Amino acid sequence: MNGRTPFHAHRRAWLQHLLALGGTGALMPVAAHAQAVPAPLSTPRRDPALDRVQPGRKLEFPSDHGAHPGARTEWWYLTGQLQPDGAPATTSPRWGFQITFFRSRTDLAAEVPGRFAARQLLFAHAALTDLGARGVPASHAHDQRMARWNGIDATPSARASLRDTDVAISDWRMARDAQDGSYRIEVPAAGFTLDLTAKPTQPLLLQGQAGFSRKGPGDEHASHYYSVPQLQVQGRVSQRGGAAVALRGTGWLDHEWSDSVLAPEAAGWDWLGINMFDGAALTLFQLRRRGTTDPLAKPFWAGGSWRDASGRLTIFPADKVRFEPGATWTSPRTGARYPVRWTVFTPVGRFMVLALSDAQEVDSRASTGTVYWEGLTALVGDEGRRVGLGYLEMTGYADRPDL
């Protein structure tokens, strides 16, 4: 699982060829729906030090809500669970959603002058899980997009603003309202449409050391990372061309940027973000060690956080987090086998992690080039009842993520 399959080699060569065309014509769409549009004539000046990932750097807002094009990779990641608007609150939602925008610095067109040079790549993944109801089977749909970006802040059809969260590929968009801090999501995907607003109810949660999150023992394998848990989500969702349904629920947003998240010793990661029913927020992650098949082997690195309902934050040391896998599900499409039941051990207690649907694999080989599992998940306490809902992400089971 080294991420260097023939597919990856072909994709890398194709991207290099595509990016080499960046200075010779209009902004070429890679996403099927992207369009060439006018753009400003110059890239805004930016101090490269602003994008450097380093301990002690104080995150500044709203600018750190925006893009950091000097960093190698970056993502804005929003998930949530939904139920019909007006329905009583429940611990068993009907739908789960994921929308993630990625930015990747290419370095392949760094010396090409002009506004058409493709200095960055933008990707987007969207998924909708329907747990089903009487007469309606469960389903999981996902879609993806990709586009070249010249790094200019205000480019309309493919952009990642430097000033605040405003990232878009054609008509897919995630933007933050500077007045109330809410996130606006518009995603007309294949087979479903997300039209949502996610409004914060709590302050930002700075992960790690005031936003410097280690993914290994050295400073070189780290990210700047913050979360916005307990988002209040409302809006409309349609499936397979049907009528839009008014929904509401809770959500979780992560924004993370890095030069090297995944150390060579790591094969992939397992990550969990849970909105607790009492208003608390739980984050857990582990990076599994490369070259071992023992599911109980000590991970390469681990961590997480707990913010209780009063706002008190506890950052977990790497040696105080443990993931113990349980039942697995094997993808009929890729053959990858994912643990869909976990027992997790943390400084604030032991919990069971239960995927609410096994079949939530995302095949993004047409964009970011990897396969991963990302799904709606429940957290169960020792007393056997659900105490929270959120999303579980698992990478490196089908192939090693190539970041």
Q: What is the pLDDT of residues 262-316, one digit of tens each?
A: 888 888 899 999 999 999 999 999 999 988 777 778 899 999 999 999 999 999 9
Q: Is residue 215 part of a domain?
A: yes
Q: Is residue 305 part of a domain?
A: yes
Q: How far apart are CA 67 and CA 87, in angstroms?
A: 37
- % of the chain exceeding 90 in pLDDT: 67
Output the pTM of the full model.
0.87
Q: Is residue 35 part of a domain?
A: no
Q: Is residue 311 part of a domain?
A: yes
| Closest to 251 measured CA to CA, from 235, 274, 224, 272 | 274
Residue 83 has pLDDT above 90, yes or no: yes
Residues in Cβ contact with 301 at an 8 Å cutoff, skipping those fewer than 6 apart:
214, 215, 216, 217, 221, 263, 266, 286, 287, 318
- % of the chain exceeding 70 in pLDDT: 84
Residue carrying structure tokens 């309202």: 177
Q: Is residue 78 part of a domain?
A: yes
Q: How far is CA 61 from CA 9, 35, 53, 253, 383, in A?
A: 39, 31, 16, 16, 40
Residue 384 has pLDDT above 90, yes or no: yes
Q: What are phi and psi of 10, to 5 degrees?
A: -65, -45
CB contact at 8 A, 290 and 268: no
**Would you state the pLDDT for residue 39?**
37
Mean local confidence (pLDDT), 342-349 = 97
**Would you state the pLDDT for residue 119?**
81
Q: Is residue 228 part of a domain?
A: yes
Q: What is the CATH number of the domain that holds 88?
A: 2.40.370.10
31 pLDDT band, cuts 50/70/90, is very low
**Would you state the pLDDT for residue 279?**
97
**Would you state the pLDDT for residue 7?**
37
Average pLDDT, the chain: 86
Q: Does residue 202 or residue 155 have the better pLDDT?
A: 202
Q: Which residues are bridge partners to 237 per DSSP?
A: 194, 245
Q: Is residue 33 part of a domain?
A: no
Q: How far apart are CA 38 and CA 40, in angstroms?
A: 7
Q: Is the dihedral of CA 117, 118, 120, 123 positive or negative?
A: positive
Q: How far is CA 211 from CA 217, 222, 327, 386, in A?
A: 16, 10, 34, 29
What's the pLDDT tens digit per position in 203-237?
Answer: 999 999 999 999 998 888 999 999 999 999 999 99
Domain, as residue range, for 87 = 6-11+60-395
**Collapsed DSSP state (helix, strand, coil) of residue 105:** strand
Q: What are phi and psi of 22, to 5 degrees?
A: -60, -30
**Would you state the pLDDT for residue 153?**
74
Question: How many domains are contained in the chain?
Answer: 1
Up-side HSE of residue 59: CA atoms within 13 Å toward CB? 27
Query: Cis ω on the peptide bond leading into residue 299 (within 30° of 0)?
Result: no
Q: Is residue 45 part of a domain?
A: no
What's the pLDDT tens digit per position in 241-265?
Answer: 789 999 999 999 999 999 986 888 8
Q: Which residues are bridge partners to 341 per DSSP?
A: 354
Residues in Cβ contact with 316 at an 8 Å cutoff, skipping those fewer than 6 apart:
284, 302, 303, 304, 305, 306, 346, 347
What's the pLDDT tens digit per position in 111-159?
Answer: 665 566 678 999 999 999 999 988 889 999 999 999 988 887 767 789 9
